[in-house]
Each structure stands twice: as C-alpha cells, then as structure tokens.
Amino acid sequence: MEITDFIEKKKKISVTGLGYVGLPLALALAKKVSVIGFDTDRAHIEALRKGTDASGELPAEAFENTDIVYTDHASDLAEASFHIVAVPTPIDAFNNPDMEPLLAATRTIGAVLKKGDYVVYESTVYPGATEDECVPLLEKISGLRCGKDFKVGYSPERINPGDRKHTLANTRKIVSGCDAEALQRIGEVYALVVDAGLHYAPCIKVAESAKIIENIQRDVNIALMNELSIILGRMGINTYDVLAAAETKWNFLPFKPGLVGGHCIGVDPYYLVYKARELKYHPHVINAGRFVNDSMGGYVGKRIIKRLISMGRTILNGRILVLGITFKENVADIRNSKVADIINELKDYGMQVDVVDPRADAAAVKRMYGFDLCRQPQEKAYEAVVAAVSHQEYQNLSEADLLRWLRDENGLVDDVKGIFRGKVSKLEYWSL
Ligand SMILES: NC(=O)c1ccc[n+]([C@@H]2O[C@H](COP(=O)([O-])OP(=O)(O)OC[C@H]3O[C@@H](n4cnc5c(N)ncnc54)[C@H](O)[C@@H]3O)[C@@H](O)[C@H]2O)c1
C-alpha cells in the first residue's frame, strides 16, 4: 500500500459508520482522497447525499470540495483498500459491552476484504478487542491472514461534540498498527488530515488503553466533584464558590460537578470494568465513579423535592419547568441524557414536568424518552425552574426571565451547572 495511490485516487478509503466520529473524518479525508462513506441507516445516507448533517455539528464548508460517495450498500466497500470503522460501542441493560455493532461492521468488511487491504478501528473498546475479537472474525470471513494478507490498526478519536476549538485536525492523534509497516502506513493516511501531528503507539493494545483511560479519568474526576458537592451541599456551602477558591492553586484540576450522560464518558468505563472482571479484578475506583455519576440525576430530583417541601410548595400535580434535555450543553444529542433521570424522579413524586430545549429534536425525544417537548415555557406556571443543561441560549437569562415563568416570587431555581450563580437574589436558589 502506497499513500500516493490514494492521493492520485487510484485507491479509495472507506469509512463505516458516519456518525459523530466517522462523518467528520470521512469528509476531511474526502478533501484529499476518494472516500466511500458507508452507514446502515438509509435515512441518514439519504440526508447526507443532500448535504444535511442531522447532528448539526459540521459547518457547510465541511461538505464542500469533497470526493465522497455515501452508500448503504455494503458491497460498495469492495472498492476501497483502506477501511476505517467508527460504529457505536454501547452497553447493554446490564452495563456490559454490546459489541454487536462493531462485530457486524467487522463481518461486513470481512466479506469484501482483499489482499493488501488495511482495516483501522476508531470505535472505543477495551484493550484487546481489536486483536482478540475483530481480527479473528476478519480472518474467518475473508479467509485471509492478518499480518500476511491484510493489516489492522487502531486509532481512537478524541473529538468532543459541541466543541469548536478541539477538532480532528488540531488534536494530536494516536495511531497504532499490527506491525511496523502497518504503523507507518496508517500514520501516512492520518497525516493527510491531522495537522497537529501523530502519536505512534507501540502496539494496538496501548492505543486502545490510552483512549479508554482518557474517558475514565474524566469520569472519576467528575464523580469526585459530584461527591464533594453532595457533602458541601449538606453544609450549605456552594461547590462553585469552593472551586473558584481552590482553582487558584497551580495544581488543582479544574473539574466541575454535573450530570455525566452521552455515549462516551458514561459508557466507556464499563468496557474496562468488563475486561477487568474477566481478569478476576473488580475495579473499585472506576465503579465508584460510575455509581456516583449514574446516581446524580436521582439525587438532583430528590434535592428539588425536599427543597420545595421545605418551602411549602405544591408537589402533587405541582408544575416544574426543566431547561434542556440533551446529554450536555450546546449539542443536539439526547442519547443517555441524565436529565431524564431528574425528570423521572420528579414525576415519581407526582409533579408535572414541562421540558424545553432549543437544540433537541422533539420527535427524537418522544421516541427515546416517551414525552413531548414543550415549545415554550408557560408564564406564571411553575413551582421551580430547573436549569439542567447550560446551553448558550440559557446563559443570558436573567432573574426576571425566571420570575416570569415561576408561579410567584417564592419559586425555586435549581441551577445544576451553576450558570445563574450571582444572578439570582430574590428567588430560592440551589446549584450542585
Ligand atoms: N461521539 C464522540 O464524541 C466520540 C468521541 C470519541 C470516540 N467515540 C467512539 O466512536 C464510536 C462511534 O461513536 P459515534 O458517536 O460516532 O456514534 P454515532 O452513533 O454518532 O454513529 C455511528 C454510526 O454508525 C452507524 N452504524 C451502526 N452500526 C453499523 C454497521 N454495522 N455498519 C455501518 N454503520 C453502522 C450508525 O447508523 C451511525 O450513523 C464509538 O465507539 C464511540 O465510543 C465517540
């Protein structure tokens, strides 16, 4: 495999799974080489053909001057010689890895694999998944031998949805390969689109481990902040005031408390937990972090109820407004949103919950969580306003805006991310 074959468009690169990770990568590559973008979601492929990106993450320029064919026909992958896999790696109802999308994509590629081809995985997995799960499947289905007939690699993605500052091009990328030649060739492909440079990992398992520990480190640190927030809250001390003071020390890490949802930080740690358990080690710290973070939605819901009771407010059939349903700020993605846990907790106590979100798709919310989004909050209707997601749209709200929605001046503002800190003086105020 020569990189010039791709640059001169004698050979093609395929990207399987055109989601948050696969699509920007496919488009960036398609500005340099011929790309086949494959996804099993036909509606998504049709939208992409019209230049529409449902995630809203990509600017129009990303689609301009690209040499890409979008397809939901697996057989089209046969035209490519370098295959990149970026399909989801979710967990099941028991928090165990659900490898089926990754294995399905592997079977698809195995069926078209030729001598001399490369397969590089980007999906987040536990260490060993590429070589122990995917390679045997590729070999079985293709009848080819890894290392001799085809090569594999792993290159984790680090993009952060909603983040316009850290991009594929300006973030250093880890690459790894099954041997020295694979490492070099895979590096040459990624160097086409990553300006910040590459980190050449010594083997695939190191690259897999690096990705997963990045997310575990974040999860555990946020869990610590959440736990501190619970303790400080019992003493009536505001966590954000404490953090503002502590952060003046040079080596204090600037993590904040909050809801950990989505399909990365709240999911990936379970992949390593699974692997560790297979190795007869029960991770304490990682599991503790998961437990704390997974409990935060319920905790916030209960805190609101207790506070409303102490304020003499109506709980049964009382109305409450929730601002934001996405899994984090400034994105449209609602998957694994822990705001849903807050809403369910409030409903369990008999409250009527109105949810608004300018970024979320109402039909998707209905499908995933079973309730309708409200178009607008009602005036003078609510016992409390819960600012659950710190979207840009909510940052500039004033106390007067909140007062307009609350039933009266004895209402509660529950500010999960602390965006109204210092702005609320008349109303009852609480933040994590
Ligand atoms: N989103 C992030 O910020 C992020 C960052 C780093 C790593 N990751 C990891 O990257 C991987 C992909 O995540 P994502 O957020 O892009 O997922 P996503 O859900 O946004 O997109 C995945 C796409 O793959 C398609 N797909 C599913 N099964 C398929 C199959 N068998 N063949 C072809 N297409 C298939 C889906 O239709 C979907 O369009 C995951 O392992 C994730 O953990 C995600």
Q: CB of 177 closer than 6 A to ligand 1?
A: no
Predicted confidence at residue 219, as pLDDT, reads 98
216, part of any domain: no
92, part of any domain: yes
Q: CB of 99 closer than 6 A to ligand 1?
A: no
pLDDT of 427 > 90? The answer is: yes
pLDDT of 45 > 80? The answer is: yes
Cβ atoms of residues 392 and 398 within 8 Å: no
173, part of any domain: yes
Name which residue sits closest to atom 33 of ligand 1, judged by CA.
39
* CB neighbour list of residue 38: distance below 8 Å, 6 or more residues apart: 14, 15, 16, 17, 18, 71, 72, 73, 74, 76, 77, 108
Using CA atoms of 255, 259, 264, 266 in order, give the dihedral in degrees to the nearest 10: 110
Domain that holds residue 103: 3-201
210, part of any domain: no
Question: Domain of 62: which CATH number?
Answer: 3.40.50.720
Is 261 found in the same domain as 305? yes
How far, rounded to the nearest angstrom, does the alpha carbon of residue 48 sit from its chain's CA centroid? 21
Is 165 found in the same domain as 311? no
Is 269 found in the same domain as 133? no
pLDDT of 160 > 90? The answer is: no
What is the per-residue pLDDT across 217-276, written as a single tens digit (0 to 9) for each?
999 999 999 999 999 999 999 999 999 999 999 999 999 999 999 889 999 999 999 999
Q: CB of 105 closer than 6 A to ligand 1?
A: yes
By CB atoms closer than 10 A (0-12, 13-18, 19+), residue 319 is middle
Catalytic residue among 134, 146, 178, 264: 264
Predicted confidence at residue 60, as pLDDT, reads 84
Q: How confident is the model at residue 51 (pLDDT cuts 50, 70, 90)?
A: confident
Is 233 found in the same domain as 132? no
Q: CB of 264 closer than 6 A to ligand 1?
A: yes
Predicted confidence at residue 164, as pLDDT, reads 79
Atom of ligand 1 nearest to the CA of 17: 24
Lookup result for tokens 């690209």? 66
215, part of any domain: no
206, part of any domain: no
pLDDT of 55 > 80? The answer is: no
Residue 178 catalytic? no
Is 231 found in the same domain as 83? no
Name which residue sits closest to atom 31 of ligand 1, judged by CA.
105
Work out the mean pLDDT of the chain and round it to a whole number.
Answer: 95
Predicted confidence at residue 167, as pLDDT, reads 86
pLDDT of 57 > 90? The answer is: no
Is 376 found in the same domain as 248? yes
38 CA from centroid of ligand 1 (Å): 12
Is 283 found in the same domain as 158? no
262, part of any domain: yes
Is 232 found in the same domain as 143? no
Over residues 156-184, the mean pLDDT reads 91
Number of domains in the chain: 2
Is 323 found in the same domain as 415? yes
Lowest-confidence region among 47-61, 109-123, 137-151, 324-338: 47-61
Over residues 98-116, the mean pLDDT reads 98
pLDDT of 54 > 80? The answer is: no
What is the per-residue pLDDT across 314-365, written as a single tens digit (0 to 9) for each?
999 999 999 999 999 999 999 999 999 999 999 999 999 999 999 999 999 9
